[in-house]
Amino acid sequence: MTLSPENLKYLSSHEWVYAPEDGSGVATVGISAFAVAELNDLVYMALPKVGQSVEAGQEFGEVESVKAVSPMYSPVSGQIVEIHEGIVDRLESLNSDAYAGGWLIKIKMSDPSQLDGLLDYQAYQKLLAQNG
Amino acid sequence: METQELKTPLYDWHVKNGARMAPFAGYQMPIQYSGIVAEHTATRQAAGVFDISHMGRLRFDGPRADQLLDRLLTRRVLDMQPGQVRYSLVCNEAGGILDDVLVSCLESPSSKIYFLLVVNASNKAKIVRWLTPELADFPDVEFNDVTDSTAMIAIQGPKSLEVCQKLFPPSVLGLGYYRAKVTEQMSKPCVVSRTGYTGEDGFELIVRGEDAPRVWENLLLAGRDLGISPVGLGARDTLRLEGGMPLYGHELDESIDPYTAGLGFACQCKDRDFIGRAVLLTKSKEPPNRKRVGLVLEGRRAAREQSECFDPEGNRIGTVTSGTFSPTMQKPISMAYLATGAASIGSEIQVDIRGTTSKAWVQELPFYKRAGSV
């Protein structure tokens, strides 16, 4: 399973999570290409620090465009084990790749069963079509 | 779904051309087409066209129309000559700002003199309610809300004159700043004024609703090789913010008087009477407690409306009213009301942005001045 849009799970607030069943219990989190296009002209992003705890459904950071600020919500609970070094200094790269090259944080999950409650790719596409 | 919003005569064009639409002041308006920064930059470097048909357009006919408006507006109307445009305020008896407006004195092709008041979309109903009782004293003034039968289009930017040269007679191109004229575009009636809300040179056009799509297309065609772009309300906001211009509901409301807002130039209290005059005359003589200022922030995080401002000792000194990341300056900028003592140019302050503080410096408005402007 690779980190590509079809293999991810989503929140309706446009965050994605990649959690391969490799026994690591580590989930990779980012925001969808739709969210990047919708926000447009990203200028700033705040990410948490390694070691911080996050809760499913709670804010882990914020992303700001010329137009507005949007909170980013964590799809799962756990502890931050890695942040994508340097991504906040090249936010424009999210326009071309919001997924494998545009991941934001990695979380050591405390409750992997939370993944079951998230949208799969088809359900997320359907949501976008409905809102579109 | 609430689909009660009105559509401007250009609605179909916006949708067909991929605009992101959103409700604004009761209208479905284009927020952006290609993107706020691209549209902002096109306006600063070439030209932008804006559908501003949501703005209220109120027409006053009759020999005493000037007297009615002179009573309602903080700026003198009685001495206005055909072709003049003035920025003015409508205040209540307490000197609070009900709206900021442009009043134009115009002469029709049949030599009729009339006045046009352009008001904020979000304030139109309030202003109509406010002026209706006054109409009773001026039975010979004919008042018409012509907003929905007309459209309003702005063309702004350094290339806007060149674009308009292809579409309008020379008399229009010779219009001075804050001058207006009733003319024609392709033999259809059109009011042209040399005004705008971007900090750039440019024109604002009022045309009949049915003529609007053609005028809009003509502007885009005439400017195609010059880098013209349609511009949505998103970039209209970043442009006016760089231009240091207040926006009603942000920098202006009924709790703020013109002197606090830095708009004392729009009040003429001497030798005339108008609603709010007594209070404004007093206020004109005393320094206001607060001042509208510009802020430039460190880093890349913008301080937006309602961010609180503190002096270096941590005392609260004011509140941000608008903010964005400036596409031209590549820095976060804000407008704020600060206590007069803390508002001197260059002062370093702290702004609380959702729980963390950023350093900011008080800067003179406007942030952006076009080359050659005074």
> Is B62 found in the same domain as B127?
yes
> Is B192 found in the same domain as B167?
yes
Closest chain A CA to residue B326? A66
B38 backbone dihedrals φ, ψ, rounded to 5°: -60, -40
Does the distance separating the beta carbons of B35 and A41 come in below 8 Å? Answer: yes
**Residues B57, B64: Cα–Cα separation, whole Å:** 19
Contact with chain B for residue A92, Cβ under 8 A? no
Q: pLDDT tens digits for chain B (374 residues)?
A: 455 899 999 999 999 999 999 999 999 999 999 999 999 999 999 999 999 999 999 999 999 999 999 999 999 999 999 999 999 999 999 999 999 999 999 999 999 999 999 999 999 999 999 999 999 999 999 999 999 999 999 999 999 999 999 999 888 889 999 999 999 888 889 999 999 999 999 999 999 999 999 999 999 999 999 999 999 999 999 999 999 999 999 999 999 999 999 999 999 999 999 999 999 999 999 999 999 999 999 999 999 999 999 999 999 999 999 999 999 999 999 999 999 999 999 999 999 999 999 999 999 999 999 987 65
Domain stops at, among B257, B288, B319: B288
B226 backbone dihedrals φ, ψ, rounded to 5°: -100, 0
Q: How many domains does chain B have?
A: 2
Chain A CB contacts of B31 below 8 Å: 67
Tokens of B225: 């090789």
Q: Where does B79-149 show beta strands of DSSP type E?
A: 85-91, 97-107, 113-119, 142-145
Position B1 scores a pLDDT of 46
Interface pTM, i.e. ipTM? 0.78
Smallest CA–CA separation between B247 and chain A, in Å? Answer: 16
Tokens of B347: 């002062």
What range defines the domain where residue B334 resides? 290-374
Contact with chain B for residue A64, Cβ under 8 A? yes
> Is B257 found in the same domain as B339?
no
Contact with chain A for residue B24, Cβ under 8 A? no
CATH (domain of B313): 2.40.30.110
Does the distance separating the beta carbons of B304 and A69 come in below 8 Å? Answer: yes
Tokens of B339: 């206590």
Chain A CB contacts of B36 below 8 Å: 40-41, 65-67
Closest chain A CA to residue B327? A66
Q: Which residue among A40, A46, A69 sits closest to B32, beta carbon to beta carbon?
A: A40
**Residues A50, B372: Cα–Cα separation, whole Å:** 51
Contact with chain B for residue A69, Cβ under 8 A? yes
**Residues A17, A10: Cα–Cα separation, whole Å:** 6
Chain A CB contacts of B35 below 8 Å: 40-41
Contact with chain A for residue B302, Cβ under 8 A? yes
Domain stops at, among B288, B310, B344: B288
Position B232 scores a pLDDT of 98
> Is B329 found in the same domain as B190?
no
Instruction: Decide: helix, strand or coil at residue B149.
Output: helix
CATH (domain of B61): 3.30.1360.120
Contact with chain A for residue B32, Cβ under 8 A? yes
What's the mean pLDDT in A8-22?
Answer: 96
Going by C-beta distance under 8 Å and a sequence separation of 6 or more, which residues neighbour residue B340? B287, B288, B289, B290, B291
Q: Where does B92-187 show beta strands of DSSP type E?
A: 97-107, 113-119, 142-145, 150-156, 180-185
What's the mean pLDDT in A68-80?
Answer: 96
B234 backbone dihedrals φ, ψ, rounded to 5°: -60, -55
> Is B360 found in the same domain as B234?
no
Cβ distance B373 to B243 under 8 Å? no
A21 backbone dihedrals φ, ψ, rounded to 5°: -85, 70
> Is B348 found in the same domain as B225?
no
> Is B325 found in the same domain as B181?
no
Q: Which residue among A44, A62, A67 sits closest to B36, beta carbon to beta carbon?
A: A67
Domain stops at, among B263, B288, B313: B288
> Is B339 found in the same domain as B251?
no
Smallest CA–CA separation between A42 and chain B, in Å? Answer: 10
What number does CATH give the domain A5-127? Answer: 2.40.50.100
Contact with chain A for residue B130, Cβ under 8 A? no
> Is B88 found in the same domain as B29?
yes
Contact with chain B for residue A37, Cβ under 8 A? no
Cβ count within 10 A of residue B210:
12
**Residues B140, B68: Cα–Cα separation, whole Å:** 10
Q: Which of B24, B37, B304 to mutate to test the interface with A (most CBs of A within 10 A)?
A: B37
Is the CA virtual torsion B173, B178, B183, B189 positive or negative? positive
Contact with chain A for residue B234, Cβ under 8 A? yes
> Is B268 found in the same domain as B299?
no
Position B374 scores a pLDDT of 54
- Residue pairs between chains A and B whose CB atoms are closer than 8 Å: 41
Smallest CA–CA separation between B352 and chain A, in Å? Answer: 15
> Is B315 found in the same domain as B217?
no
- Strands A26-31, A15-18: pairing is antiparallel
Q: pLDDT (tens digit, 9 = 90+) per residue, A78-117? A: 999 999 999 999 999 999 999 999 999 999 999 999 999 9
> Is B357 found in the same domain as B263?
no
